[in-house]
């Protein structure tokens, strides 16, 4: 299995031991976050601090005045260099360690708050400021510009696309207080975007937007009032389902293609995604045409067990042979994987040919043994 380890720019440039430690670990490439959302990131290897507080989404490359349209990323003031991602990539390259560009595209709470018209709007008219809507041309242009500016002047072996599609109702918002409250069906209905651009697409498909909105709101209310947390959306809104999915997938395809058009030939194109087309978030549902555009699809397999292993097997069976299947696993979960070596082996036997490891900076001395075990298992497959 090819092994990609994920890291933040400050993990590489601020830790004098990072390069040697990662070289000994034996990963095939290090994915450096070049465009990333807000976070409070632990720095367990740093002797000077315990964390970095990235207060808002930012581009970790110089933000040039003439490179942007209406939407423009912020620069981070919590790192010393205007090109901290570039510094990290150059340090890795000089050490002989291949670097990948890790790009987060539609997850940006700062821009969503400043430009609410470009965010996902649910059927109750509520905005999700963390979620830029791919149906908006300005959002697609922004994502394409982020890609071009992130890659400029640097050598990458891969470009990894995160949040290259829609985010929804249940993705990371401050102190989240929705966990376990809504059924999966309710959360998915609340993740359908009803912004003006998406409503226009509904109208083109022959749906009356006002009536469709009414149906959505009524169904969400019915599901909430029923109190059934096991409800699924498989049998609801049969006349509207395909229009909603087609609208989402059309916007997602347009976003991905505008982004990929900015990637020069050479690097592999790796897409974070999910086999279920209704999933939103950092790894959104694949569209039918997505496999034609990428070299690898990475599934989130953070929760060990049969569902994750089964998802890999399903992906391998359904995706074209030319598309690699990657498994994204974490060594920094609150509850550690009981046997990460055995889990990695299971994923490989199910069809994963890439292991994506989270996270080379967050996993401190107490978790580093898990990374070693996972890499060791991957190398034996």
Same domain, 349 and 231: no
Share of the chain above pLDDT 70, in %: 98
Which tokens is 265 given? 């030939």
Do the domain assignments include residue 157? no
Same domain, 185 and 261: yes
Segment 320-326 mean pLDDT: 98
Same domain, 213 and 299: no
Do the domain assignments include residue 318? yes
Same domain, 128 and 242: yes
Specify the pLDDT at position 176.
Answer: 75
Specify the pLDDT at position 237.
Answer: 76
Same domain, 262 and 317: no
**Residue 253, CA distances (Å) to 35, 109, 144, 151, 166 in order:** 20, 22, 13, 21, 11
Taking only the tens place, the pLDDT of each residue in 108-119 is 999 999 999 999
Do the domain assignments include residue 53? no
Which tops the pLDDT comparison, 233 or 282? 282
Which tokens is 37 given? 């959302």
d(CA 353, CA 2): 6
SS3 121: strand
Please tell me the least confidently modeled range out of 244-248, 331-335, 342-346. 331-335
Same domain, 128 and 259: yes
Question: Domain range spanning residue 187?
Answer: 120-132+163-247+255-266
Do the domain assignments include residue 84? no
Is a pLDDT exceeding 90 seen at residue 177? Answer: no
Same domain, 242 and 187: yes
Do the domain assignments include residue 177? yes
Closest listed residue to residue 166, CA positions, set 289, 35, 234, 255:
255
Same domain, 192 and 237: yes
Share of the chain above pLDDT 90, in %: 90
Please tell me the least confidently modeled range out of 49-53, 149-153, 169-173, 303-307. 169-173
Same domain, 355 and 224: no
Specify the pLDDT at position 233.
Answer: 64
Same domain, 184 and 301: no
Do the domain assignments include residue 277? no
Same domain, 310 and 208: no
Specify the pLDDT at position 235.
Answer: 59
Do the domain assignments include residue 233? yes
Is a pLDDT exceeding 80 seen at residue 179? Answer: no
Same domain, 216 and 124: yes
Taking only the tens place, the pLDDT of each residue in 80-120 is 999 999 999 999 999 999 999 999 999 999 999 999 999 99
Specify the pLDDT at position 87.
Answer: 98
CB 165 within 8 A of CB 107: no
d(CA 206, CA 215): 15
In this prediction, residue 172 has a pLDDT band, given cuts at 50, 70 and 90, of low
d(CA 150, CA 144): 10
Is a pLDDT exceeding 90 seen at residue 175? Answer: no
Domain total for the chain? 2
Specify the pLDDT at position 227.
Answer: 85
Specify the pLDDT at position 180.
Answer: 80
Is a pLDDT exceeding 90 seen at residue 256? Answer: yes
Output the average pLDDT for the chain.
95
């Amino acid at each position: 299995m090819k092994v990609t380890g994920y890291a933040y720019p400050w993990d590489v440039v601020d830790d004098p031991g990072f390069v040697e430690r990662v070289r000994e670990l034996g990963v095939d490439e290090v994915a450096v976050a070049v465009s990333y959302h807000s976070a409070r990131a632990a720095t367990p290897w740093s002797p000077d601090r315990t964390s970095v507080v990235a207060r808002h989404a930012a581009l970790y490359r110089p933000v040039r005045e003439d490179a942007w349209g209406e939407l423009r990323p912020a620069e981070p003031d919590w790192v010393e260099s205007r090109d901290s991602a570039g510094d990290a990539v150059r340090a890795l390259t000089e050490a002989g360690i291949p670097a990948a560009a890790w790009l987060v595209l539609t997850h940006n709470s700062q821009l969503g708050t400043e430009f609410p018209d470009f965010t996902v709007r649910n059927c109750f008219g509520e905005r999700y400021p963390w979620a830029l809507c791919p149906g908006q041309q300005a959002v697609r242009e922004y994502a394409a510009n982020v890609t071009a500016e992130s890659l400029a002047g640097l050598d990458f072996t891969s470009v990894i696309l995160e949040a290259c599609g829609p985010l929804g109702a249940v993705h990371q918002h401050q102190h989240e207080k929705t966990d376990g409250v809504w059924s999966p069906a309710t959360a998915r209905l609340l993740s359908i975007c009803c912004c003006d651009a998406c409503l226009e697409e509904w109208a083109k498909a022959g749906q009356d937007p006002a009536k469709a909105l009414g149906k959505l709101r009524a169904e969400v209310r019915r599901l909430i009032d029923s109190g059934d947390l096991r409800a699924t959306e498989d049998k609801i809104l049969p006349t509207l389902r395909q229009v909603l999915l087609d609208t989402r997938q059309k916007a997602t395809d347009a976003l991905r293609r505008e982004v990929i058009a900015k990637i020069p030939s050479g690097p592999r194109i790796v897409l974070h995604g999910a086999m279920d087309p209704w999933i939103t978030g950092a790894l959104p549902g694949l569209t039918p045409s997505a496999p034609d555009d990428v070299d690898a699809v990475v599934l989130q397999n953070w929760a060990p067990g049969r569902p994750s292993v089964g998802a890999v097997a399903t992906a391998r069976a359904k995706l074209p042979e030319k598309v690699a299947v990657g498994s994204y696993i974490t060594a920094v979960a609150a509850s550690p994987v009981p046997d990460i070596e055995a889990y990695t082996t299971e994923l490989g036997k199910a069809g994963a040919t890439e292991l994506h490891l989270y996270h080379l900076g967050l996993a401190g001395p107490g978790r580093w043994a898990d990374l070693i075990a996972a890499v060791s298992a991957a190398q034996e497959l």
